[in-house]
Structure 1
Amino acid sequence: MTIGKVIRKYRKEKGLTQEEMAIRLGVSTPAVNKWEKDNTLPDISLLVPIARLFGISTDELLSFKDDITDKEIYIFIKELDRRFKHEPYEDVFADAKKKLEEYPGNERLKWQVATVLNAARLFNEVADSDRYDDVICSWFSGLLESEDLSIRKSAAEALFHFHYRKEDYQTAERYLLYYSEDNPERKLMQANIYAKTGKINEAYVAYEEMMLAEVNQLRVIMNALQILCEEDGDLDLAHRVADASSDVAKCFDMGVYQEISMQLELAAYEKNIDETARIMEKLISNCDSISDFTKSKLFSHLSFKQYGKDFYEELRSDLVKRFCDEETFGYMSGNIYWETLKDKSHKK
């Protein structure tokens, strides 16, 4: 790790701007910027003041050891995990801490050490476990500025759960900012905080929104899978997926229309005339059930737009037009129901 990267890392951990650091050292802000970009090196006379400012040794500042490899990290972590089984946690922790002091700039090492030490004290009976809180949390906090998204996210998640277990929900909530707003994990953790802090209605809304989104996403995936099965010639699996989608729709009160909608795709693929006619008739007569889920107790805390009679009549009319398309349903020629449907459509 270059000295520039070490300076940048410890400056951020200290919460200093480049300008603040420059003032304390008696140099210009552009000089600090050039150090961190590895364009220039600080004067040798500044090494001790810089180390003192960060509270580290000059050896740490200069990264006196070659960086540890990923393979060496893997071996070290495996050894730590093995030692937890028969050695005191305190001893393993001390050795792990010493290793981090040898390689202060290696984020991957710090991340994995912090993760394994944190997990070990959670899943094992460690005496005075709380006395390790500050050190482990400081490691995770230092990783929140990592350029590696997976490390940054893992650190935020660890800190969230740490404060959540301590029932410090206000602090825990701050770490959700490290997740994107549409991240389902963030939404779930936020809902959990709502539930724990007495925001019961907000919790209901959050849980129900996630549930509805997951149901819709699942059915989209199942529809894509069914089509793939059809194209691949695996009709047994296609029927199984269509039945499963129907069961999901039924389980979550999605309404008759959504329970059978995917079955029409399969009947059309197989050119099953009787089945196609049966499903068409059922879909047309159950248009108004397409929004049944809005009346379900499962989603009773959500607000939905209410549609009037005109909406369902328009939907029904569009369905009839689509079902009368000869390019798609021409195989239905001669079927009494389909021919009647076409006649009615033409008269309109």
Structure 2
Amino acid sequence: MNEIIKKRRKEMELTQEQVANYLGVTTPAVNKWERGNSYPDILLLPALARLLKIDLNTLFLFKENLTEPEIRIFCAELVEIMQEEGFDTAFQTALDKTYEYPLCDSLIYLVATVMDNCLTLNPADLDDKEEYERQIIMWYQQAASGQDTVIKNSAAYMLAKKYIKNSLYDQAQQLLETIPENNFDKSVLLVDLLLHQGQCDEAAEIIEQKLLTSLSSIQPLMQKLINIELTTGNKEKAEQIAQIAESMVSLFGLWDYGAFVPKLQLSLFENDVDNSILQLKKIIHAIHTSWDLSKLPLYHRIAQMPGIDMKKALVPALVHEFENSKEYDFLRDHREFQKIISDLSQEC
């Protein structure tokens, strides 16, 4: 408050004596206000605000919530305080700030994560460690019940981790069910929860499905990268990436289809008729060859799960691509290419 009074008085080109005369107080009293040695009487505050042409919220430096930059600066300061003055002082500073802004979900969540990480890094014999842990959980609970959807889900995720650690499995399960699947990857926590409950096969199924999905999503990215390298004249890099893609199929037991597409990209780029036809035949053979997950150590538990009929999904798309993409123009009059299109069209 003292800085606001001093700043506004000078902006309005008033002396301390003039302010004192307007409010019926002494000049030394105004001087003490500006130095922070004392505060105006509560009955003087409305008149002082009117004199300085500000509202009471401004006079009191009142803000409903902190801004995101202010929160991040404060959290950085917490780390500095912990390093210089110790965990206890940093924690009390964090607690005071959350008391000052009890409805600021972003502040409460970030303070919880910072102090949670700091607590993990501190010695096990830290005084009142259990009490600190309880307060951190309370912060997560508070943030998880807030209005901001992103913060709410993030806090629920962190809280579920705490519940699993403390063997509160039912509460962890209930929390995980509230987090939208499309906005958050809950697989790691679900695996932890199932493992703590002794459900190893169920946990392994989640891991296998996650692994297969992740690896499969990498292949299209590598194909895009090959195209970029070819377009920018880096043929050698493109060939290296194609080799990596092929090795990945073998190493992780992926569908053979993914090993031949990069080679086809290289052949098409060079207008290599013979090799393009060869790779197309290999791709068609892969589409018609069963991919038996039950024989693969990484995916044998999900082998019996219903999956997508890849042949049914791919064949129409391939026919459309072969008939319309300019990449295949140099193959249009080739008898074997026409036969490939004809055979595939009959399956649509």
After TM superposition, the score normalised by the length of structure 1 is 0.67
* CA drift at 1:330: 4.8
1:66 aligns with 2:70: no
Aligned residue number for residue 157 of structure 2: 157
1:122-155 alpha-carbon deviations (Å, 9 max, x no partner): 1111233111233222221111133323322331
Q: Structure 1 residues 305 and 197 mapped into 2: Cα distance closer, same or farther (>3 Å)?
A: closer
1:268 aligns with 2:265: no
Aligned residue number for residue 179 of structure 2: 179
Aligned residue number for residue 223 of structure 1: 223
Aligned residue number for residue 58 of structure 1: none
Q: Structure 1 residues 149 and 240 mapped into 2: Cα distance closer, same or farther (>3 Å)?
A: farther
Larger Rg: 2
Query: SS at the partner of 1:181?
Result: coil
Alignment of 1:90-105 (within 5 A): 90-105=88-103
1:168-201 alpha-carbon deviations (Å, 9 max, x no partner): 2222222213422245621221122112211122
1:116 aligns with 2:104: no
* CA drift at 1:307: 11
Residue type of the alignment partner of 1:66: K
RMSD: 3.8
Q: Is the 8 A contact 1:184 1:210 kept in 2?
A: no
Q: Which runs of 5+ in 1 are unaligned?
A: 1-62
Aligned residue number for residue 79 of structure 1: 77
Q: Is the 8 A contact 1:256 1:290 kept in 2?
A: no
Judge which range, 207-216 or 125-134, deviates more: 125-134
Q: Partners of 2:90 and 2:188 in 1: how far apart?
A: 34
Q: Partners of 2:342 and 2:106 in 1: how far apart?
A: 69
Residue type of the alignment partner of 2:192: N
1:300-332 alpha-carbon deviations (Å, 9 max, x no partner): 111255999xx9799999979987999654534
Aligned residue number for residue 7 of structure 2: none
1:53-81 alpha-carbon deviations (Å, 9 max, x no partner): xxxxxxxxxx9933444444333322221
* CA drift at 1:296: 1.9
Residue type of the alignment partner of 1:206: I
Residue type of the alignment partner of 1:177: E
After TM superposition, the score normalised by the length of structure 2 is 0.67
Q: Partners of 2:94 and 2:342 in 1: how far apart?
A: 80
Q: Partners of 2:73 and 2:203 in 1: how far apart?
A: 43
Q: Is the 8 A contact 1:253 1:292 kept in 2?
A: no
1:208-259 alpha-carbon deviations (Å, 9 max, x no partner): 1111111111112222333344444443333233222222221221243332
Residue type of the alignment partner of 1:75: I
1:248 aligns with 2:269: no
Alignment of 1:122-141 (within 5 A): 122-125=120-123, 126-141=126-141
Aligned residue number for residue 330 of structure 2: 331
Q: Is the 8 A contact 1:257 1:289 kept in 2?
A: no
Residue type of the alignment partner of 1:213: T
Q: Is the 8 A contact 1:254 1:293 kept in 2?
A: no
Q: Which runs of 5+ in 2 are unaligned?
A: 1-59
Q: Is the 8 A contact 1:230 1:238 kept in 2?
A: yes
Q: Partners of 1:72 and 1:149 in 2: how far apart?
A: 21
Q: Partners of 2:191 and 2:316 in 1: how far apart?
A: 41
* CA drift at 1:114: 1.9
Q: Partners of 1:263 and 1:250 in 2: how far apart?
A: 15
Judge which range, 313-322 or 187-196, deviates more: 313-322
Residue type of the alignment partner of 1:279: Q
% identity of equivalent residues:
21
* Number of aligned positions between the proteins: 281
Q: Partners of 2:130 and 2:281 in 1: how far apart?
A: 66
Query: SS at the partner of 2:298?
Result: helix
Residue type of the alignment partner of 1:166: N
Query: SS at the partner of 2:83?
Result: coil
Q: Partners of 1:69 and 1:167 in 2: how far apart?
A: 36
